[in-house]
Amino acid sequence: MTTETTTPATHPTAEDEVVGICQDLLRIDTSNYGDNQGPGERKAAEHVAALLAEVGLDAELFESEPGRASVVTRLEGTDPSRPALVLHGHLDVVPAAADDWSVDPFAGEETDGLLWGRGAVDMKDMDAMILAVVRQLAREGRRPARDVVVAMFADEEAGGAYGAGWAVRHRPELFDGATEAISEVGGFSVEVGGRRAYLLQTAEKGLAWLRLVAEGRAGHGSQVNADNAVTQLAGAVARIGRHAWPYTLTPTVDRLLRGVADLTGLPFDPEDPATVDALVAALGPAAKFVGATVRHTSNPTQLDAGYKANVIPGRAEAAIDVRLLPGHEEAGMATLRELAGPGVRIEPIHQDVALEVPFEGDLVDAMVAALHAEDPGATVLPYTLSGGTDNKSLSRLGITGYGFAPLRLPNDLDFAGMFHGVDERVPTDALRFGTRVLDRLLATC
């Protein structure tokens, strides 16, 4: 009599799956044109829900408006008495003009170790890493160290009103017990002084999309008109757009620059803009992010006035994109009102909070340790994001958010320049690296 032994079936690992998951997400057009315009996230959300269901995870898919879909599931941790962690991404992307790209932005092409497509860095790469790791945990029957809420939101690219913002207002129970969150635009590597450093996002600037409104006396274009709304508005736009905001170093930026000074040997004097500029430049491509965090920024982006060349309109409007430093929002808004002048009114289009937390604590220690386990010689530094994330919405529930989408990148890759840019792409080996780091993190944090 012979006996036959069987070998347990092997399952694909997160490293095996992550590139394919990312490709599939890139091939779903979730362009967000703002004002609830675009194809929506429903198709991508259904795909995510199916990936989770395939490994036995119950996920809830819900819509804030038709087509504006988000997905949430919860993994039970080994110690459910600990506060939960939110691991979140967004499914929407900014639009892409195909004629400007070298490849079809929604084809998910892989060439020479790079995965191309709109959302490859913002942020379907992180979505794929999260999903790959969660699926691996479920298949292997492993549980994270604490409860983990996995959320894939709609509408982040337009401020989150139909995604994370809606979920926080209408479904706060989904995040019961959560005190911390991890999401995009942190944990990526840069070369500083010949050494690899990872930038962990512990702060982000406040968001203020504002409308400038000037009202005057309408009339014939041939007449003298001292109350011209266009003239009033043009002056305000020029003053705001040309304003040289002073350097103001927040605690996060100060600590980052001191770290860069240590790595490079460059001097650092927080009162000397020249030394600040030199340290920012030493960050290479990441300088595009960091250079916008040493001061407020205010950029005019839209103009709207009149309907005919020979008619003076009674109203003129402009939009400005303002990003305010944590802890200095009120002073920044006061300066904007002065620059606009008495004849121009400022109205909010969309505003959201600035965030800043210390570069310390158990979760930060766990993120640093997970990176060091995969890249022992690297340095980890905090930084401020010049843009914003859905951590803003979650902060309304008392949840502290970090940016940690771990990617080990080639030194010559302009990672920061690809956010909302042309020919967006991510190295496939960086995706695999990220899954290893996230898997370690969830086991220990």
Which residues of 148-265 form beta strands (DSSP E)?
148-153, 178-183, 188-192, 195-204, 206-215, 219-220
Q: Are 153 and 228 part of one and the same domain?
A: no
- Is 21 a domain residue? yes
- Is 288 a domain residue? yes
Tens of pLDDT, residue by residue over 222-247, are 999 999 999 999 999 999 999 999 99
Average pLDDT over residues 129-145: 97
pLDDT at residue 294 tops 90: yes
| pLDDT classification of 8: cutoffs 50, 70, 90 | very low
User: What was the pLDDT predicted at 287?
Assistant: 92
pLDDT at residue 341 tops 80: yes
Q: Tell me how far apart the alpha carbons of residues 202 and 177 are, in angstroms, rounded to a whole number.
A: 21
Q: Are 46 and 111 part of one and the same domain?
A: yes
Q: Are 281 and 334 part of one and the same domain?
A: yes
User: What was the pLDDT predicted at 9?
Assistant: 55
Q: Count CA atoms within 13 Å of residue 350 on its CB side.
A: 15
Q: Are 258 and 151 part of one and the same domain?
A: no
Q: Are 173 and 290 part of one and the same domain?
A: no
Q: Tell me how far apart the alpha carbons of residues 343 and 236 are, in angstroms, rounded to a whole number.
A: 9
- Is 51 a domain residue? yes
pTM for the full model?
A: 0.93
User: What was the pLDDT predicted at 3?
Assistant: 41
Average pLDDT over residues 184-211: 96
Last residue of a domain, one of 352, 373, 408: 352
- Asked if 438 contacts 150 with a C-beta cutoff of 8 angstroms, the reply is no
Average pLDDT, rounded, for the chain: 95
Number of domains the chain contains:
2
Q: Are 244 and 105 part of one and the same domain?
A: no
Q: Which of 118, 143, 138 is nearest to 22 (CA)?
A: 118
Q: Which of 91, 94, 93, 87 is nearest to 44 (CA)?
A: 91
- Is 376 a domain residue? no
- Is 3 a domain residue? no
pLDDT at residue 5 tops 50: no
Average pLDDT over residues 419-430: 95
Q: Are 110 and 146 part of one and the same domain?
A: yes
User: What was the pLDDT predicted at 412?
Assistant: 87
Q: Which of 187, 189, 378 is nearest to 284 (CA)?
A: 189
Average pLDDT over residues 184-208: 95
Name every residue whose Cβ is closer than 8 Å to that of residue 72 and which is 6 or more positions away in sequence: 59, 60, 62, 149, 150, 151, 152, 167, 171, 174
Last residue of a domain, one of 334, 352, 370: 352
For residue 233, what is the domain's CATH number?
3.30.70.360
Token couple for 96: 């892409």
Average pLDDT over residues 151-155: 98
Residue 273 domain boundaries? 203-352
| pLDDT classification of 6: cutoffs 50, 70, 90 | very low
Q: Are 225 and 345 part of one and the same domain?
A: yes
- Is 8 a domain residue? no
Q: Are 180 and 264 part of one and the same domain?
A: no
For residue 109, what is the domain's CATH number?
3.40.630.10
Average pLDDT over residues 72-93: 96
User: What was the pLDDT predicted at 399?
Assistant: 98
Q: Are 343 and 236 part of one and the same domain?
A: yes
Q: Count CA atoms within 13 Å of residue 362 on its CB side.
A: 11
CA-CA-CA-CA torsion sign (379, 403, 92, 350):
negative
- Is 377 a domain residue? no
Q: Are 84 and 212 part of one and the same domain?
A: no
- Is 426 a domain residue? yes
Q: Are 119 and 171 part of one and the same domain?
A: yes
User: What was the pLDDT predicted at 77?
Assistant: 96
